[in-house]
Amino acid sequence: MSDLVKIAVDAMGGDNSPRKIIDGIIHHHNSNKDNFYMIFGNETEIKKCINNQLDQKFFKIIHTESSVKSTDSPLEAAKRGKKTSMWLAIESVKKKESDIVISAGNTGALLVIAKLNLKMIENIDKPALSALWPNKNGMSVVLDLGANIECSSKNLVDFSIMGASLYRSLYPSEKPQIALLNIGSEELKGNEIIKETYQILNNKKSNDYDFKGYIEGNELMKGDVNVIVSDGFTGNVALKTAEGTANFITSELKNALTGNIIGKISSVLNYFNLNRFKKRLDPRLYNGAIFIGLDSPVVKSHGGTDYIGFSNSLNVCNRIVNGNLINKIKKNI
């Protein structure tokens, strides 16, 4: 067990829990035997879901009487507090009993409870919410996605370094290419904070990443850069816009290919290409936002994802720990 990545799992968060969470763990374990799952939640319900499908050597159930509800405000969740599955899962990372924590529960509550339990990495003022996005050449790390509405140039520089460290942890053989999300690619474009950040990063030489300047919203998926940095307001709007556009395209394409006999024949003839297209836009493949800046990693799975999506976020957990993310951030900051 000492060689396994210890993942603390809040089994009671998100839709259809704990069934979805446990099915995700079982699916993940079937393809990756390098993890030990510390499962926090209602023991009776969890055991029913496991039903002897998981070897006892690879998990431990920590019974909790209560859980954070999706309707709880962050303050209510914190008050409900120390006996919930979310709180105890985070606390296990604080006590070094687990390497990383994951929850599909209430995002606001997770951020607040994580900040109450875990210290900030030295010299970082604010944590950031980051996630993986597909691009033409592979994947990008994008941050901040909503944890901080207002940011200083110092915050954006920190986000750049943390994002580059995260990318290097997930993709060790590739060099991070950083860009600032802006309303134009020219140096004069943008507000004073983003222009000041540009100057700092442009003058800051590093062997750990390359700074590529500004990127506009229509170039996010182009693949020229792989770490995209913004304040939380802009990043969240960009995320929701991209998700909505992807859902619209997928839905309209499906309607076009099933609406009449010609469309149905076309869909059969192009089955493999369409299947590849569908997989490329499948949000389950990119599930797992990472709350970085704290001295232990916290992963947020989408509450509405299914067990496949949750399994993919467990894979992100494994790669973050094996990629030594926290030490990379401490070294680079």
pLDDT of residue 2: 63
Same-domain check for residues 277 and 137? yes
| Nearest residue to 21 via CA among 7, 34, 31 | 7
Number of domains in the chain: 2
**φ/ψ bin of 51: left (φ > 0), alpha (ψ from -120 to 50), beta (otherwise):** left
44: Cβ contacts below 8 Å, ≥ 6 apart:
none
The SS3 of residue 250 is: helix
CA distances from 178 to 143, 156, 333 (A): 11, 11, 15
CA distances from 256 to 93, 113, 259 (A): 48, 46, 6
Query: 36 with 319: CB under 8 angstroms?
Result: no
Residue ranges of the chain with per-residue pLDDT less than 70: 1-2, 253, 256-260, 262-283, 286
Same-domain check for residues 192 and 100? no
pLDDT of residue 190: 81
pLDDT of residue 85: 94
pLDDT in tens, 151-163: 999 999 999 999 9
pLDDT of residue 332: 82
Same-domain check for residues 169 and 65? no
Same-domain check for residues 141 and 266? yes
pLDDT of residue 275: 59
**Which run of H or E residues covers position 38?**
strand 35-41
Interior angle at CA 312, CA 147 and CA 167, nearest 5: 55
The SS3 of residue 260 is: coil
pLDDT of residue 221: 84
Report d(CA 36, CA 19) in Å as an integer.
18
Same-domain check for residues 20 and 57? yes
For the domain that residue 79 is a member of, what is the CATH number? 3.40.718.10
pLDDT of residue 52: 87
Same-domain check for residues 264 and 303? no
Same-domain check for residues 256 and 311? no
The boundaries of the domain holding residue 246 are: 132-285
Same-domain check for residues 32 and 105? yes
Report d(CA 64, CA 66) in Å as an integer.
6
Alpha helices by DSSP H, listed for 150-223, are: 153-170, 192-203
pTM for this entry: 0.85
pLDDT in tens, 260-314: 676 565 555 555 655 565 565 566 776 778 999 999 999 999 888 899 999 999 9
- Burial 82-121, CB ≥16 within 10 A → b, else e: eebbbbbbbbbbbeeebbbbbbbbbbbbbbbbbbebbeeb
Same-domain check for residues 108 and 145? no
Phi, psi of 254 (to 5 degrees): -60, -45
Same-domain check for residues 170 and 87? no
pLDDT of residue 277: 54
Same-domain check for residues 277 and 318? no
Same-domain check for residues 97 and 183? no
DSSP code of residue 251: H
Query: 145 with 130: CB under 8 angstroms?
Result: yes
299: Cβ contacts below 8 Å, ≥ 6 apart:
100, 101, 102, 103, 288, 289, 290, 291, 313, 316, 317, 320
